[in-house]
Structures are given as C-alpha cells and as structure tokens.
Structure 1
Amino acid sequence: MKGKYTLIKHFRLSAAHRIPGAGKCARVHGHNYKVTFCVEGTELDEQQMLIDFRTVKHAIEKRYDHHFLNDFPEFDPERGGAAPSTEKVAEVFFRIIDELCAQKSNRPTLRWVEVQETDEALARFERID
C-alpha cells in the first residue's frame, strides 16, 4: 500500500529582537516563541522516523534560544539580512529545517514553518510547488 507520512511538531524558544522603524517594536523586547513545523514523506529513515524532531529543535534552540536575534547576520540588514519580523524568523527557521531534511537519506519534504509570537499573532512560511 502506498501512503504518505506527515509529522507536525512544535517547540518553544525565547528570544529578544527589535524591528527598526516599526513603532513600539523598534524598542528591544522579547517573545516566548512557539515554533511549529510540518514534514512529509513517503519513506521513513533507519529509526522509522521522517526526521528526528529533537535534531530540529536542538539546531534552532542552540543558535537562537535566549539570544538577541538582531545580533545574527541573517537578521541584520547591515550584514545582508533582514529585520527579524515574525515572517522573516519563520523563513529563516524554514531554511534551517529544510537543510536538515535535505541531508537525510529518506529525503522528507518540509512543507511549512509557523512562528507564533503572541497569542494573537503568528506567521507561516511555506513551500510552494
């Protein structure tokens, strides 16, 4: 029987940022982000997983948890990045997770990443085919 697996996982991290020119968000402030991602595929790896979600969580937490996002080149316009809006954070996290998927022999596909900044606001970056 042919089928497709879908894995949706979320985790949390805390980070500070500022968005120049964005009203009160131009001041340094922080969020307890909820990050959710969706991976799909037709084959599992040797551990019978699409991807070990602990690997994903650790890759992002290790770099960004409890840090000032603007300090990273990907979130610094003066170093070729973009201000860390929720949308750009979702895009950067997508690129990180997508690279982890590309390194796997079963080649799972990352469909989307959501970053929830507050109870009222989240952004999604998704693959379009």
Structure 2
Amino acid sequence: MKTQYALLFIILCITLHGCKTRTVYMPVERTVTEYKDRLRLDSIFYRDTISMFQRGDTVYKDVVRWRERFVRDTVYHQRVDSIPVVVEKEVPVNYLTKWQQTRLHILNVVAALLLVYLAYRIGRKLKSTR
C-alpha cells in the first residue's frame, strides 16, 4: 500500500513538473547614426512679363509668369554623434520539435489515464476494507 502511495506521489510530482523553454538575454551592441541634410531656399521671386501687340484692329496680350528660386551655395550638414545603445535581444533556447510535442501530449494522456486507474483501484480497496 505504501509503495502505491509512493508511486502515486512520484507520478504526481513528475506530471506537475512542467517543461519551460529557457530564454537567454544576449546584449547586442547597436550604433545609431543619424544624418540630417538640409537645403535651404534663400529667396523665391514670382515674376511675370506682359507683352502687348496689335495686328490690324486686334490687340493681343501675352502674359508669361515664372518663379525663380535662389538657393544658398552651401549645404547645411549636421552630424549627430552616434551613441552606443545596448539592446537586449531575446534568444529562445530549447525548442521542441513536432514529434517531441506529440510524444509529450501522448504521455500526458497516458499519465492522466494511469492516475484515474490508480484512483479507481485505491477507492475500490478502501471501500472493500470498510
């Protein structure tokens, strides 16, 4: 009787002990460098030209409009210093294959059936001794 209880206790401990994948955090050095280029427009002029001419008794008006942009000679180039940032990258360890997962599921079903059977046998024995 004591061996059955010990066996039941061992099986219970084994089934309650779960498997968990272990995660290992590995520091990854990452350098962030940002560049910013700016091109500034110095001035913008809207211009137009109007010309009028006459042919016979008809007066024609010709209007041409355009926009001139004057750009600065130099390009403003700003460099932000790079600051090393440590990023923790999660690397999963101990992946189970599909076959191992299937075997674990089958083992769980067998263990559950074994526990039900043992509980039934112990219950019958206790009932018969009373």
Q: TM-score range by the shorter chain?
A: under 0.3
Compute the TM-score of the two structures, normalised by the length of structure 2.
0.21
Q: Which has the higher contact order (CA 8 A, sep 6+)?
A: 2
Higher strand fraction (1 or 2): 2
